[in-house]
Amino acid sequence: MIVISTTAVPDHVGGALSRWLIEPCPGLFVGTVSARVRDELWSAVSANVGDGMAVLVHPADTEQGFLIRTAGQRRRHVVDFDGLQLIRFAADSLSSGSSSVETSSAIVK
């Protein structure tokens, strides 16, 4: 099973996804397709995402049991930490003001 979530993508992208997957709520596509179809769909989505964004979650032979792929402008970024995919939040680039605070954290073993 794969899950593709889209936000603010062109209408033709959703139309292409709805040929292969169901859309239980706007912008969320779910279905069971082969790896080849999944990769072709993702290539089409990521090439045509425009100003929007898209996230693909699909099964994989990893510790978590899935992989996450992203395309477009997004605040959340997937980072690999010892084989685990974790989400890192980027600083909000739309906020204005001269005082910005950057924080970072590290996981110490």
Determine the Cα–Cα distance for residues 53 and 71; give it in Å rounded to an integer.
Answer: 6
φ, ψ for residue 35, nearest 5 deg: -65, -35
Q: Which CATH number fits domain 2-89: 3.40.50.1820, 3.40.50.1700, 3.60.15.10, 3.30.70.240?
A: 3.30.70.240
Determine the Cα–Cα distance for residues 27 and 1; give it in Å rounded to an integer.
Answer: 17
Q: At a CB cut-off of 8 Å and minimum separation 6, what does 28 contact?
A: 3, 4, 5, 6
pLDDT tens digit at each of 109 positions of the chain: 999 999 999 999 999 999 999 999 999 999 999 999 999 999 999 999 999 999 999 999 999 999 999 999 888 899 999 999 999 998 875 544 444 344 334 444 3
CB atoms near residue 49 (< 10 Å): 20
Short-list 71, 65, 62, 60, CA closest to 35: 60
> What is the model's pLDDT at position 7?
95
Start-to-end Cα distance in the chain: 35
> What is the model's pLDDT at position 98?
42
